[in-house]
Amino acid sequence: MDVSEAIKRRRSVRRFRQEEISREILLELIGAARCAPSAANRQPLEFVIVDSEKLKAKVFAQLAWAGYVRPRRDPPAGKRPVAYIIVLINKERALADFDPVDAAAAIENILLAAQGNQIGSCWLGSIKREKIREILEIPDTYKIDSVVALGYPDEQPVMEDCKDENIEYYLDDKDVLHVPKRPLQSITHLNKFGLPID
C-alpha cells in the first residue's frame, strides 16, 4: 500500500479481531516513529509496548473512547485492542514548546505504518496518565503523551465530506461509524487567504 492510499484509508478503529500482532511488526511501527522529524533533532520520545494480557486489561481501564458515540463505541470484551504503544516524552531531552509536535509527527508515522500492515489503530489522548504511570512503572522524568491502541480491524469506518460544518462522527442504523471531514475547498486558500481554489 503506498503512502497516499494509507493516508486515505486510515480511520480510528475501535473494534478489533483478537489476532496477535507480532513483536516484529510492533517494533516496525516504533521504527517508523523513530524516523519522524524532531525539533533540533532532540529525539525525546520513547515508547512502551504493552501486549501482555494482564497489563492490556489494566491499561484498557484507563482509556476513554469515542466521545461523540459513547458508550456504543467502547470496545466490548472480545473486540478490544491486542496491543498498545504508550508514547513517552523524556523531559530531560525535550524542548517544551515542541513536545506535542514531536509526539504528533511520530504517532502519525505509527498510524500510517500500522495501516500499511493492515492493522487498525486508535490514537487516544483522553487517558488516566497517572494510573498508567503506576501500572507501567514509568519514571516521573517522563511525560505520558498518549496511547495508540492496535489490532486487526473488525470494523470499517467511513470517511465523508461534512455537511453544514457538522464534524461530529456518528453511527448509522447498521452500526457503521461515519467520520465527516471538511471539504478540501473549504480549508484551502490559493496564494492569499480568502481566495478559493478552482
**CA distance readout (Å), 30 to 17, 61, 67, 178, 184:** 22, 24, 27, 29, 31
Same domain, 173 and 133: no
Say whether both 169 and 151 belong to one domain. no
Co-location of 109 and 184 in the same domain: no
Instruction: State whether 65 and 150 are in the same domain.
Output: yes
Q: Which residues pair with 120 in a beta bridge?
A: 151
CATH of the domain at 150: 3.40.109.10
pTM: 0.94
> Can you read off the three cell numbers belonging to residue 95?
524542548
- 44 and 38 Cβ atoms separated by less than 8 Å: yes
In tens digits, the chain (198 residues) has pLDDT values of 788 888 989 999 999 999 999 999 999 999 999 999 999 999 999 999 999 999 999 999 999 998 888 887 899 999 999 999 999 999 999 887 899 999 999 999 999 999 999 999 999 999 999 999 999 999 999 999 999 999 999 999 999 999 888 899 999 999 899 999 999 988 999 999 999 887
Q: Can you name the residues that pair with 121 across neighbouring β-strands? A: 12, 150
Question: Number of folded domains in the chain?
Answer: 2
Residue 104 shares a structural domain with residue 196 = no
Take residue 83 and report the three cell numbers written for it: 496491543
Distance in angstroms (rounded) separating the CA atoms of residues 122 and 151: 9
Query: Looking at the structure, do residues 58 and 8 belong to the same domain, yes or no?
Result: yes
**In whole angstroms, what separates CA 84 from the centre of its chain?**
10
Provide the domain limits for residue 103: 3-155
- Between helix 129-136 and helix 53-60 the angle, nearest 10°, is 160
The number of beta carbons lying within 10 Å of the beta carbon of residue 192 is 6
